[in-house]
Structures are given as structure tokens and as C-alpha cells.
Chain A
Amino acid sequence: MELTSLLEPLAGTSETALALVVMLLPLLSFFVLIFFGKRLPRHGDWLGISMMLLAFAVSVWLFALTWNTAMFHSRINWFSLPAFNGTFAYFTAGILLDNLAVLMLVIVTFISSLVQLFSVGYMHGDEGYSRYFAYLGLFTFSMLGIVLVDNLLLLFMFWELVGFSSYLLIGFWFKRPAAVAANKKAFLVNRVGDIGLLIGLFTLYTYFRTFDLEALRTLINSGNWAGGVFTLSYILNGQPWLVELSSLLLTLAGLGLFMGCVGKSAQFPLQVWLPDAMQGPTPVSSLIHAATMVAAGVYLLARCYAFFTIDALTVIAVVGAITALLGAVAALTQYDIKAVLAFSTTSQLGYMVMGMGTGAHDASLFHLATHAFFKAALFLNAGIIIHAMHRGLHHTHQPENIDPQDIRNMGGLRKVMPLTFYTYLLAAAALVGLPLFSGFLSKDAILAGSWAWAQTMSLNGNSFYYIVPVVGFTVVLLTAYYMGRHMWFMFFGNFRLPFNVEELRLTAKREVEHVMALPVVLLAFLSLGLVFSTNPFSFADSWLMNGISLEVLSADSRLLAESLIGAVHRQDEANHTAHIVFGVVSALLGVLGIGFAISKYRNKTREALSQEKPQSTFAKLSYNHYYLDQFYNRALVQPTLLAGRVLYRNDKWVIDSLLNNGSKALVVFSKVIKYFDTLIVDGTVWLVGALSRLFGYVGLYPQNGKIQSYFVYSLFGFILIILYIIVF
């Protein structure tokens, strides 16, 4: 198969150009606001919001043009490297619009617009007001980049930019030590995942010579499995290449890609950053750490679905199930309003990942969409409550150390904040997965898919695979319990702080500003099942889920795990009647969980609730997130820092001291040479001089100028000569 032609530039269409505009509008607002924001009227919030609304409007237009009708792809040659033998290595850049991309486009711009609107109220009066909107613009730009690009290299670039903007936003209140510790942690933990992602990309590039997603899919399509080896051949630059890849290598590459998802989507064992990320402003938590950025990992899995082998998918399913369980269990005992939602987010992301791993590709993406709306609603509501608590504490001059985010300090808010309560209730019902709400549809689809997967996988007699769907059902129960508890603490019973609960209201007539109420109401409405499916009891009828199924997204290409996914889908269809059972069971589990929570807390006194602490070992473990932070600190961070200090000492005390001692030895040696010079060499010369002087003196002495002496000498001489003649 000819690879070169697959990488050729594709002419731009008006649709892709529009998509580019959508992407660049938030970037424009970033630049304008960062440089001139403070000088603009109202610090430029209107600019950010209008740009975002415009982007949203264009996105909807693009959605209408693309959804279920067409696919648009434009591509340019970003840069190319001359390679050996006169060939080239191409690095392309392009925009791909398909059902998934436009869906994400609409979701991201919609929630982004709402969150910006909400922030007008929430961030009012903050000294970094324009900077905040600028950062949101940068984030939206990066997120749209992930959604729109057509190749993995660019995706990785926007992926990192998303991480960067998340870093900026978590640490937005940079004077708070906790916030800057959290943003550092988030970035670093994400980088751990990115290392895996990068290695996965390198592997794909090494064997397939391109990052382009469509080209990669086409290549995979042209290959064949034979005896555990994946073989394919292609022609690049006129040269034929034959690639034979072992199943293990492909699995490892897939797991590399998955590591990116583990980092960004807060999967076990890298989920530790997400709870800390709640240090950012609450609207940011809503947009980035609940609805969009953390879902990017799932989006990545969907985009790379063809590159995962069966083994890789199994790992993905198991990791997802573990995360879903761990997140839900940790959420059981939290008291911080945002911590509950954060752990719930990891748990729900675990569901999505589990869905991906079990072949429920479409269900997982569907859950991504529904979760984005109801979780954004929950977080924005939490923001309203935190705002109200701040207001109350401030107005009544309470001590500084009362935590406005602690649900133990709340209670009875239902009466003074009815709007918040009802919208929260709708979104929470969707999260729990009660019938008629969106979460019911998407969660059910995942559970059904995972059951079919377990059935298929255990055909070889190994029934351990059923653990995954069982965990899935268990998490439904846990979710219902923690949300019930959460709601009970906040909205029911009596207010637990020593001031009038009416103080929480904005004015006697209004509980919250209009700009903050509108987004919440819209999002709560989108938590209803009817929005997504004409039959709110059956996900099979969902227009959204049918639009993002594998058949629609990659109709003519095969996956590496084709054999498994096909079998799972057939099994799933065969399970048709069982779906009703799944729905009933999960609904019952939800009701049961809420019932448990209510029965546990209904009879507790106000004091008991406000003083509650995690008591049992299990509760402490859950409350402290299994001491994972402490473990990582001891096992990884401290040893790394120690290694740094040891190596630096090595520089100082080994390498440098070797050099210094070496030069000292050189100095000593030159001193020795110097003594050799002065004593031996110079001494010899001196000795010669001294000897000649000595001889001189000896010769000088007889020459005393007395004629008598000379006469005596010559007489002696004469006698000597005579003696010589006589003797010899």
C-alpha cells in the first residue's frame, strides 16, 4: 500500500477553515487580554465571553454541517526532513472534522462559554480578573486543538499546552502555597503520563513513519495478524517496507498511549493530582477538571482505538475499573464539597476508561458527553454554595478558620437556596444514574458493554473477567451513597454554623446573580435523559450514541483488536433482553445507595453531623486517599531528591576534589622539581664554580710576586727533573 500519497497535503475547505477560526478565537482573546486586559472596560471579560460565544455559534454551525453527513479533512506539510537516499520524512499538520470532533467542539465551546459567564459573577473583584479570562482563553484554544487536529504529534502538543494552561489556572491564586504546590504536582504527574504517551508515539512513528491518524488507521487496516505477529507492508517514497510487529510490542505501544490517558484522565495510579487540582477557582474545576480536560484522555483512547491490542484493552478495562472503585470509595468519606466531586470525577472517568477497555467505545464517549454536562453543573453549583458560604462568613464576621467548603458546616441550604438545590438535585440524579436522567443511559450502556465483554472473554473458562462488570455495578451503589450523603449534609437538616442561614443569600429576593444562575439552569436541563434519547429508558435509541459508534467513525477500517470487539458487539446484541435487567438492577442499586445514606444520616443530630470525623481504619484510608500521596512522596519524590544531593556531592567531593587534589599534587611535584633544580642542578653548577675558584686560589697562592719564591720554585722544579731522569 502506498503511504506517501496518504500524507500529501489536502486542500482546505471552508468547514476546516471555520474550525480553525473557532480554535483561534479563544487564542486571540488570550493575547488581547493578557496584554491589554487591564486597560479594557470591565477588564475585558466581555471580550472573552463574546469570543467564546462566537466560537460556540460557529461550532454549532459546523456541527450541523458535519453531523452524520460528511467528513472534512485538510492537511498541510508542517515540516519535512530530508532522509537517507533522497527521501523525506514528513511531519504534517491538519484539521479533521468528523462526528466525534464536532461533538467535542460543541461541548467544549458550550461549557466554556457558560463557565466564563458564570465567572463574571464568581470572580468579580478579583485582582487577576483579566488574567483569569486570558488563561481560560488559552485553555479553550488548547483543548480545541486536541479535538480538531488530525495527527498524534499535534495532539500531543496541544495535550501539553492543555496541561500548561491547567497549571496556570490551578495556580491562579499564586499567593496561596497550597495552590502552587497543587499546580506543580498536577503538571509533574501529567508529565509522567506524557512520557508514556511520547514513547507510544515514538513506537508508532518508528514502524509506521507517520503520526497522521487516518494514515495510521489505513495502515492498520492493511495489515494482518498471523500467528501472533502483525504484518503489513507499505511503500514510502518509492521504497517498499515490510513491518512485522509482535503482539507484545504493539501491546506495549498501546499501553504507552494509554499512559497519557492515565495521567490526564486521572486514572490509577496517577489519579493523585486531581483532588489537589481543586485549589483552582471553582469554575475552573468545573470546566477543566471535570468536563473537558480530564476527558481528553478518553478522547485520546477513542481516537487511537484501532491501535490497541486485546491485551492492551484488557489492561485498560482493569485500570478503569480499579479507578472507578477507588474514586468512589474515596468519595465516601470526604467533607470538602469539591473533594467529593473530584473523587467522583475520577470514578466516572474510570467508568469511561473501563468502557473503552471493554469495547463499549460509543457508550464511553456518550458517558463523556453526559458527564461533562452534569458534572459541570455540580461544580458550578458547588461554586455558588462556596460563594454563598464566603458571603455568610464575611457578613457575620466569623473566625477565619471556618472552612466555607466543608459540608459539615452547611445544612438546610435547601430552604434558602432552592434554585441551587433543584439544579444540584437534577445533576446529582444524573450522576447517580437514576432513570430519566442522562447518566442512566450512558452508564447503563457501559455496564451492558462490560457485561458482554466479560461473557466473551470468559469463553475460555476463566470467569475472573466478570470482576470488571461487577465492580461497575458496585460503583453505582457507592456513587448513590456518597451523593446521598453529600446532598444530605448540604441541603437537609438544619444549618450548622452559628448565624442565620438567610445571610447566605445575595439579597432577600435573590439567592444568586443571574450570570451564575443561567449556566447552572442550562446545564441541569442537559442532565435530563430526554435530551439525549427519545426513549429515556434505552440508550440504544440515543441519537448521540449512534452518531459516535465505531461503525460511523471508522466505517471501513479494522482495529488491532477486531476479533474481540466484533465478538463483544455480537454478544451485546444477543444480550438484548438482558439490557432491561441491567437497567433495573442499576436503578435499584442507585435507589438503594441513596436509601442507605439517608437512613444513616437522618437521625443524626446537628452536633453529630458537624463533628463527624472518619473513625474506622477503612474510613481513614478512604478519607486520606489510601495514603497514596505519602507513599509516592516516600517512594519516589524523596529518593529522587536524595539522588540529586548525592550526585551533587559527587561533583563536589569526588570529581572536583580529584581535580583539586590533582592540581595540588602537581604543585607539590613542581616544588620537588624546584628543589631538584636548586639543589641538584643549580648545586652542580655551583659546585663546578666553587671547585674552579678553589683551584684558582690554589694556583693564585704561589704567585705572590716575590722573586725569591720564584727562585725556590724553579730550583724545586729543576731537582724534580733531575730526579725523574735518574729514576726512570
Chain B
Amino acid sequence: MNFILSSLICTPLLAALVVLLMPGYLQKPIKAVALLGTLVQMGLSLLLYVSFDGNAYADGRSGYQYVEKLNWIGLSLGSLGQFQIEYFVGVDGISVSMVLLTGIVGVIGVISSWTIQKQVKGYFLLYLLLLTSVMGCFLALDLFLFYLFFEFMLLPMYFLIGIWGGPKREYAAIKFFIYTLVGSLFILIVMIGLYTSVIDPQATARQLGLVGNGVPVPVAVILEVQQMLQDNTIATTDLVRTFSIPAMMDSANFIPDSLLHIMSDVTLWDKPIRFVAFLLLFAGFAIKVPVVPVHTWLPDAHVEAPTPISVLLAAVLLKVGGYGLVRIVYPVFPDAAAYFSVFVGGLGVLSIIYAALCALAMNDLKKLIAYSSVSHMGFVLLGLASLTTEGVNGAIYMMFSHGIISAMLFLVVGVIYDRAHNRMIVNFRGLASAMPAYTAFVVIAFFASLGLPGFSGFISELLVLLGGFRAPEATGLLPRWLTIVAVIGLLLAAAYYLWALQRMFFGKYWIFPELREQAVISDLNLREYLMLVPLAILALLFGIFPSLLLNKIGVAVTGFSELVLQNGQEQLNIVLSSIL
């Protein structure tokens, strides 16, 4: 269990290496290796999930389990201090749920990729690389390492859409790439700013000789170093600068007079520099989430991507955005998080309503589901902005549950596309007569997504809305009307799903004449059952027994919100008074 996290990252990488060494004509064995790799990764993630201690206290800053920390790049920069990048991975309740999700969806994706014909070797190579980088994102605790994985996701994704995608794949791929790259640039800017401002108190203590190498640093020493730092009594040559995310969450680790210190009097556009940094970082992750109005890459990317890549994109990649907000943006800049809570929550509600209305106007089933993803991700923002236990738990629950349900949704779209090579709603009617089992799964997926009790979607929406509604009382952050508007999203979700069901699946069986020649309308095959049944069971399981997830994430999530809330209110006063 010591290296389980590294194994999680390396398993698909290893499988990719094997695939790389195999000749391209061995299509079946390549698929088998990919399946094996993802199965092992899923097994490991399950093992991690089961053995993870959900009751141990964690708040984002501390309490990580299965931590691995290695010095990766260390340089002495003379008067600029010490340069340090670490291979630093660990899990807490927040990331462990995402790890499990990635493990599960990774396998489903491979099964769904079984029908890929074109350049099988290249496809699975990129697929496995993608899984490596996603897993890395969820495990990394060093911002540099995180950024590395975060950026690396782009490369396989670009090619997977651009080569194996639909007719307009080049446009979609480049749109996806540029959008995300712009987001990454914002993150990069703030990352550099943070790097210039933050030190690692433990490494600095070692550098100062307060603690010997290989000995754990006592808390008292850390506090002493932090005090020395704030008193400006450490020589700049001894400051060990760091990318460590937990170190960035403690305002005591910021070098006085540095750019992003809470007492920094630097302003940009009349706002404290920390607020600007928050907004940049937020924008970077918001593109990934995605949040209206920077969401327009998502429908295009989904429509053009092949089914398994859509599944992975919706189920896992979008979560990196939300995860980044929880892991980095909020705890590093709690003051700005408190200051901008209405803005963040408002964007969440805007996404919920805006995307749901767009989904109503869609003729392409896949695009409809893509917009529904945007709408559901809005709940994550709302829950997060509330900073109540219910709201943040709901946000994480939503990410997990949406991962399961959106995978199902994109799979069912893939089923009809495989058969008819078309998925325009108007081209089909009464599919229920021809494909009863398929329609049953469509109904399950749609109702799970629109929040029918019994499915995981309900629990997440309930918790988010409950948290949002309670926020004015509990944390004083969000106005109540915001949540009331968000509740209308539930109605709109029902409207677009039921309307699609009515138009496409019910009524007399009919297919657009031009499609009839090429379409082979048959019900689900074994492979499709193999993907849909487990997902449906999971959606039910997490809908009926929420404690399966909440027992793992609850403590960490609550620790996180408490930390952000407390630090936020304390630091906000300092930040605002510093610029006067």
C-alpha cells in the first residue's frame, strides 16, 4: 500500500508502454492490454477507496493519506533562495472519490472503444496516456506536478478528437485545445506568482538546520519558521520556495512583501492582487468545468468526439475543473473566495439555467446531453460557493454522480449513433418499439440525470440546493433568491429530457427514410449491457446509500469548508485594509 498512488498513475502508463512496443496489426491483443491496464487501475482505485480512512481529520491543508513525497528538482538560486519541485502525491476525501470515478470510467471507456477500427494502436496509446494524466491531476499535491498533468491531458485529447472524431473534428479539436490552453495560461501566471511568494516551512527548517534530514519536522518548528518568516529574520538565500499546494493554503507561508501575501498592497484594476490572481485561476478552471459563458467548446468537442472519448470527457475530464476549484483555487485564496462567493454562485446558477434552456433548443441528442452536462456542473459551483457542509458535500457528490450518469448518457447516445450513424432527434420516432431494452436504459439514464430520487443525481442536487438555501443562515455568503432560481433548473432538466423521450422514443416507430438503408436497428448487444448495467447499478447504489460516498468524503469536505470559511473571513479584512 505504500506506493499505491504511484501505481495508480503508472499502471496505464505501463500499459501504454506495452502497447507502444506491440506491432500495430495485433489489434485484439492491444485492446486486451488496454483493458487489463484499466482493470488493474480500477482494482487499485477500489482498493484505495475501501482502505481509505474517511474518519481521519482532513481539511485540504493537512490530513492526506498515502502521501509520497520525493524531491524532484532542487536548485540553489543564490540570493533568490532555494528552488524546489517535488513529486508530491496524496489523497484526501475529496480526491479519493475522483480517483474511484476515474478507475471505473476508465474501464467503461475501453469497453466502449472495442469497436474502434482506425489506427488501434495509436488510439489506445493516447487513451492510456490520457488516463495517466487525469489520474495524476487528482493525486498531485505539488502545483507544478499538477500543472504538468493538467497540460499533458490536452495532447492525447487533441489527437483523440482530431483523428477519431466526426466530420468537423479538426475545428472541434482546435477549439478545445485553444480554449483549454488559454485557461492553462491563466493558471500558469498565477502559479508563477504563487511560486515567488510561498515557502515550504518544513524544507526551510531543514535548510536552516533546525531539523536534521530524514526527521519529521515538529509542528512547533514549523510555527517557529513561519514566525521567523513573517518577522523577516530568515536570509533570502535560505528560503525554500515551493509549489506545494498545502503550503500555499497557509497564509503564514507567504513571504512578507511578496506579490501575493495577504498584506500586499499591489492592486490591479483597483482590486487587490490576490483577488485578481483568484479570478485568473478561477477563469482557468472555469473553462475546464465549463462555466457559462466559456462553455462553447464543450458541445462541439462532444459532438465530434467518438463515444468513448465523450464518456471520458464528460465523466472525468470536466471534473478536473471542479476539482481544481476545490483543491487549489478556494483554499489558496479563501479571502477572494469569500469576497466573490456571489459571483461564483451566480455563475453556477447562470450555467444551470442557461445551459438547460439551450438543451431545450437542441436537435442533436448528443448536443442536448452536452448542454445538460454544463447545466449540472453549475450545481457544483453553487454548492461550492455556499461553503456549507451540505453544499460542498453536494458539489463533490454531484461531480461523482454526474461522472456515472453522464457516462451512461453518452453511451446511450453512442448506441443509436453506431446503428444509424445519425442522432438527430427529428430523424427518429418510436424507437421504444424497435429497441425496448435500449429505451429502458435511456429512461433510466434520463431520469437519473434529471434527479429522480433513488438515483445518485437526486442526492447531489438535494444537498447542493439545501446548502445553497441554508447559506444565508449558516455562512452568510449567498442570497437566497439565487438558490430559488437554481431550483427551476430541475424543472427545465425534466422538460428537455422528457421532450426528447417523447419525440425520439415514443409514438409510432419511424425513421427518416434516407437513414433506412444504412441503419441496422437492433437492440442492445452484450458489450453494451456490460457497460450500461454496472453504471445503472452504481447510480442506484449511490442514490439509495449515500453514506457509501459521504462517509469517505464528509470529514475532508467539512474540514475544507470550515478552513476556507474561517480563513476567508479573517483574511478578507486584512486584504481589504491593506490596499487602503
A residues lining the B interface (CB < 8 Å): 78-85, 89, 91, 153, 156-158, 160-161, 164, 167, 171, 174-177, 179-181, 183-184, 187-188, 191-192, 194-195, 198-199, 202-203, 205-207, 640-641, 643-645, 647-648, 651, 655-656, 659, 663
Contacts and interface: CB of A to CB of B under 8 A. Distances in A.
B499 interface: yes
Contacts of B295: 651
Instruction: Among B293, B361, B362, B546, find the residue whose CB has the most chain A CB atoms closer than 10 A.
Output: B361
A187 B453 CA distance: 14
A188 B470 CA distance: 26
Interface string B80-93: 00000000000000
B490 A195 contact: yes
Q: Which 3 A-B pairs have the closest CB atoms?
A: A157-B453, A644-B361, A644-B360
Interface stretch (B313-321, B502-510, B520-528): B502-510
A174 B547 CA distance: 37
B502 A181 contact: yes
Contacts of A180: 501-502, 506-507
Contacts of A647: 354, 357-358, 361
Given A194-B490, A205-B469, 19 more contacts: A78-B546, A79-B550, A80-B547, A81-B463, A81-B558, A91-B546, A158-B453, A167-B498, A174-B430, A174-B505, A180-B502, A184-B501, A188-B498, A195-B488, A198-B490, A202-B465, A202-B469, A644-B359, A651-B296
A174 B490 CA distance: 24
B418 interface: no
Given A177-B507, A184-B502, A641 B453 contact: no
A184 B357 contact: no
A641 B361 contact: yes
Contacts of B507: 174-177, 180
A192 B359 CA distance: 19
Q: Which secondary structure dominates chain B's binding surface?
A: helix
A203 B473 CA distance: 11
A40 B85 CA distance: 66
Contact of A187 (B462, B498, B506): B498
Contact of A192 (B458, B465, B474, B491): B491
B231 to A, nearest CB: 32
Contact of A161 (B296, B433, B452): B452
13 contacts: A80-B547, A83-B389, A157-B453, A157-B454, A174-B505, A191-B494, A195-B490, A199-B487, A202-B466, A205-B469, A640-B492, A644-B360, A651-B295
Given A160-B452, A656-B296, A82 B389 contact: yes
Contacts of B463: 81
Contact of B558 (A83, A156, A164): A83
B358 A651 contact: yes
Nearest to A207: B473
Given A83-B389, A192-B491, A663 B296 contact: no
A79 B547 contact: yes
B309 to A, nearest CB: 21
A84 B453 contact: no
A176 B545 CA distance: 37
Instruction: Among B474, B502, B505, find the residue whose CB has the most chain A CB atoms closer than 10 A.
Output: B502
Given A175-B433, A180-B507, A188-B491, A81 B393 contact: yes
Contacts of A184: 498-499, 501-502
B500 to A, nearest CB: 10
Instruction: Among A78, A79, A156, A199, find the residue whose CB has the most chain B CB atoms closer than 10 A.
Output: A79
B425 interface: no
A164 B321 CA distance: 33
Contact of A643 (B357, B453, B547): B357
A158 B544 CA distance: 12
A81 B488 contact: no
Contacts of A645: 361
Q: Which secondary structure dominates chain A's binding surface?
A: helix
B521 to A, nearest CB: 16
A121 B466 CA distance: 47
Contact of A191 (B299, B469, B490): B490
B447 A164 contact: yes
A157 B456 CA distance: 12
B495 interface: yes
Contacts of A158: 453
Nearest to A196: B487
A156 B508 CA distance: 34
B562 interface: yes
Contacts of B499: 184
Nearest to A84: B562
Contacts of B498: 167, 183-184, 187-188
A198 B454 contact: no
B432 interface: yes
Nearest to A164: B452
B554 interface: yes
A157 B299 CA distance: 32
Contacts of A157: 453-454, 458
Given A158-B453, A202-B470, A82 B296 contact: no
B428 to A, nearest CB: 14
B96 to A, nearest CB: 16
A617 B509 CA distance: 40
A640 to B, nearest CB: 7
B508 A198 contact: no
Contacts of B360: 640-641, 644
Interface string B459-500: 000110110011001100000000110011011101100110
B390 interface: yes
B103 to A, nearest CB: 23
Contacts of A85: 562
B265 to A, nearest CB: 32
B479 to A, nearest CB: 14
Contacts of A191: 490-491, 494
Contacts of B361: 641, 644-645, 647-648
A413 to B, nearest CB: 33
Interface string B527-559: 000000000000000000111001100110110
A663 B502 contact: no
Contacts of A203: 469
A174 B429 CA distance: 11
Contacts of B505: 174
B333 to A, nearest CB: 21
B189 interface: no
A188 B454 contact: no
B405 to A, nearest CB: 16
Nearest to A145: B453
Contacts of B393: 81
B178 interface: yes
Contact of A82 (B465, B509, B554): B554
Given A81-B393, A640-B357, A659 B487 contact: no
A132 to B, nearest CB: 14
Nearest to A161: B453
B430 A175 contact: yes
Given A157-B453, A157-B454, A647-B357, A82 B547 contact: no
Instruction: Among A191, A644, A659, find the residue whose CB has the most chain B CB atoms closer than 10 A.
Output: A644
A79 B487 contact: no
Given A195-B488, A648-B358, A161 B454 contact: yes
A180 B558 CA distance: 44
A637 B426 CA distance: 19
Contacts of B447: 164
Contacts of A202: 465-466, 469-470, 483
Contacts of A656: 296
Instruction: Among B465, B557, B558, find the residue whose CB has the most chain A CB atoms closer than 10 A.
Output: B558
A645 B357 CA distance: 8
A655 B178 CA distance: 14
Contact of B390 (A89, A175, A648): A89
A667 to B, nearest CB: 12
Nearest to B55: A82
Contacts of B432: 174
